[in-house]
Chains A and B, each alone.
Chain A
Amino acid sequence: MTVQSVLSATDKLDLLRMMVLIRTFEEAILREYHADKSPGFDIGAGLVPGEMHLAAGQEPVAAGIGAHLSLGDAMTATHRPHHLAIAHGVDMRKMAAEIFGRETGLGRGRGGHMHLFDPKVHFSCSGIVAEGLPPALGQAFAFQRAGTDRVAVAVAGEGAANQGAFHEALNLAALWKLPVIFVIEDNDWGISVPRSASTSVPSNAVRAAAYGIPGTRVEDNAVEDIWAAVGEAVRRARAGEGPSLIEVHTLRLWGHFEGDAQGYRGDLEGVPGRDPIPTYQKHLTDAGILDGAAFTEMGAAASTKVEDAIAFAKSSPLPDPADALKYVFTEGAQS
């Protein structure tokens, strides 16, 4: 497979288009999530109940990864998975339906927004910090043993780099030269704990040295730099040279979860100015690649796709409570 190292104008527009699509989806979920939770906020109420971790601000990471992956490649994501799922090609209708807890959802309403599994594109999530990394090793192992050049991307937050699972996974992947790309989304915050209070090193990329693999840190949520770093890591993995670690300094635009008042957060004032979408929009506009009409069209197309998925979800049947025990085992419910 030839490796592309320069972004064309079309590629750059595709990156922005993906970022806009993700943001449009997250804004729609935000709207639907809060629509029936007022006046008093009840986390378990409404059409979309439960914890909701939205990824606004982290779109560049997803767009930069997704551009390099093919249909057979795997991705494991975190409790904050929507951006990665969309960029990896997860069926948006089925994903929305799962978030709404419908029978037509990816997990037939058994999983929820932190547990999205789309076997068609080898996508999965884990709600447990760092624990989505080890299964990605197994997918990479299966791809390697089958003699393919398929890869697995394992995404985690910066807090996950302090978990044992992270270090075990890096060591084993490096030891067996597995085709894995570890991506750390550093959004500065482990819920309310700042990175400075959790992590002994200024960059998790330096931790790659402990396992003899390349480590790169991308600053400023820069989508083109993310794209370049992931491209090199994917090339390495496909060539059989083993895993890489990339940390991206990204942005949690909203709370840890919906309902988080973020009273602990001292950086809030600067957050709107760091929004990666206007930043990249301006960058492409200044470069003469994008004009206002094209950007408006991007938003309209995204809105059409997202609203179709939301409408599909809302019109889909709820799971039958009588089937709550179904799917514990492959042959049906047993105890």
Chain B
Amino acid sequence: MSTAPTTQIQLPLEPEAGRRKLSTAKAITEAITQQMHIDEKVFVMGEDVGPYGGIFSSTTGLLDEFGPERVIDTPISETAFIGLGIGAAVEGMRPVVELMFVDFFGVCMDQIYNHMAKIHYESGGNVRVPMVLMSAAGGGYSDGAQHSQCLWGTFAHLPGMKVVVPSNPYDAKGLMTAAIRSDDPVIYLFHKGIMGLGWMKKNPRSIGAVPTDAYEVPIGKARVAREGTDVSIVTLSLSVHHSLDVAEKLASEGIDVEVIDLRSVVPLDREAIVASVGKTGRLVVVDEDYQSFGLSGEVIATVAEALPGGLKHVSRVAVPDVPIPYASGLEYAVLPTPARIEAAVRKAVAG
């Protein structure tokens, strides 16, 4: 069993992006490819990760490069193959396991939260589970209530898993590299809308500059995606882009919005949140996950504990507590759209 920390070559942290551009999907695949070359213990496993290349292109080309011994299609048996990943990780391998849609966690959650996440603690630190569980999240394309959820708050609520959620190709590569190299289990959630897929409405920032060499984006560090002085939007994933679009629009009216891209939910970069809100005094949390009992409440509680009385405005734009509807008009009524974000920011600065 894996008992000793792995000695690894230090990789640069967040180098300059350079000029080469990749889609988020290709950035993820490049990170996995590089780590598979560096470390023979890394392997990829999941449903349709082989010839298909991942339903959301997260593993495209890996089978050709590494063969079926290291890029392994599984039966539709998430409990069995996620559990297998756990056992392999316990024995020192570094599995990257794909759960096709995060919505499918319901059929395998026991392996995830009672085993993957708890073995290190229950063993008093004697057994490590260096495993990445990556999964597709998010809606906006009429896939209905069982294929459109984000659910990062659900995993974050349960101790023992790190949870990372990139919003762009640069972070996607650096966070995947960090996740594979981490000795802790990491949930890696990519929003389908940031992958740069040809068959889905693309966010313009889903293709971006990515360094060629391997590097890490540190797990647990947020990024100031846009500096501003009037109001802080604390957000993540696809909502970062909606928030940046709103910020650009409102800048012409003299409203100066700061956008914090959390990048990690666990550990949560509470310092970055408090620093930003301490500066602006106004907080809008934008989260595509369900509103109640989740990340948006946690962000607000963090600020309330750190800055009691220091707040001029607090609000949130999240999915009201309803299953994600199918009909497009209904779905967009509950998603955190740019229109909802803009209304919240206007209200924040008016108050």
Question: Is B123's CB under 8 angstroms from A169's CB?
Answer: no
Question: Is B1's CB under 8 angstroms from A135's CB?
Answer: no
In the complex, which of the residues B74, B91, B125 contacts A143, with contact meaning CB atoms closer than 8 Å?
B91
How many B residues have CB within 8 A of the partner chain? Answer: 50
In the complex, which of the residues A107, A131, A164, A334 contacts B122, with contact meaning CB atoms closer than 8 Å?
A107
Q: Contacts A134-B84, A137-B83 known; A327 to B92 CB distance under 8 Å?
A: no
A283 within 8 A of B: no
In the complex, which of the residues B81, B120, B124, B162 contacts A105, with contact meaning CB atoms closer than 8 Å?
B124
Could you give, for residues 104-129 of chain A, a 1 whenever the CB lies within 8 Å of some chain B CB and a 0 otherwise?
Answer: 01111111100101011010101110
Q: For the side of the interface on A, what is the size category? A: 35 or more
B209 within 8 A of A: no
In the complex, which of the residues B69, B88, B127, B159 contacts A138, with contact meaning CB atoms closer than 8 Å?
B88
Question: Is B115's CB under 8 angstroms from A135's CB?
Answer: yes
B1 partner residues in chain A, CB cutoff 8 A: 117, 119-120, 122
In the assembled complex, the CB of B192 is this many whole angstroms from the nearest CB of chain A, namely 26
Could you give, for residues 141-181 of chain A, a 1 whenever the CB lies within 8 Å of some chain B CB and a 0 otherwise?
Answer: 11101000000100000000000110011011001000000
Question: Is A124's CB under 8 angstroms from B79's CB?
Answer: no
Query: Do most interface residues of chain A lie in helix, strand or loop, or is the interface mixed?
Result: mixed
Question: Is A110's CB under 8 angstroms from B123's CB?
Answer: yes
Q: Contacts A137-B84, A329-B162 known; A117 to B5 CB distance under 8 Å?
A: no
Among residues 96 to 127 in chain B, which have CB atoms less than 8 Å away from a CB atom of chain A?
107, 110-111, 114-115, 118-127
In the assembled complex, the CB of B305 is this many whole angstroms from the nearest CB of chain A, namely 12
Whose C-beta in chain A lies nearest to the C-beta of B88?
A: A138
A1 within 8 A of B: no
Q: Contacts A119-B1, A119-B2, A330-B128 known; A131 to B114 CB distance under 8 Å?
A: yes
In the assembled complex, the CB of B63 is this many whole angstroms from the nearest CB of chain A, namely 17
Question: Is B90's CB under 8 angstroms from A171's CB?
Answer: no
Bound CA span A335–B267, Å: 5
Identify the B interface with A (CB < 8 A).
Answer: 1-3, 5, 69, 74-75, 77, 79-93, 95, 107, 110-111, 114-115, 118-128, 159-160, 162, 182-184, 220, 266-268
20 more CB-based (< 8 A) A-B contacts, given A142-B93, A328-B160: A107-B123, A110-B122, A117-B122, A122-B91, A124-B127, A135-B83, A135-B87, A136-B87, A138-B88, A138-B91, A138-B93, A165-B79, A169-B79, A169-B80, A172-B74, A327-B120, A327-B123, A329-B184, A334-B266, A335-B268
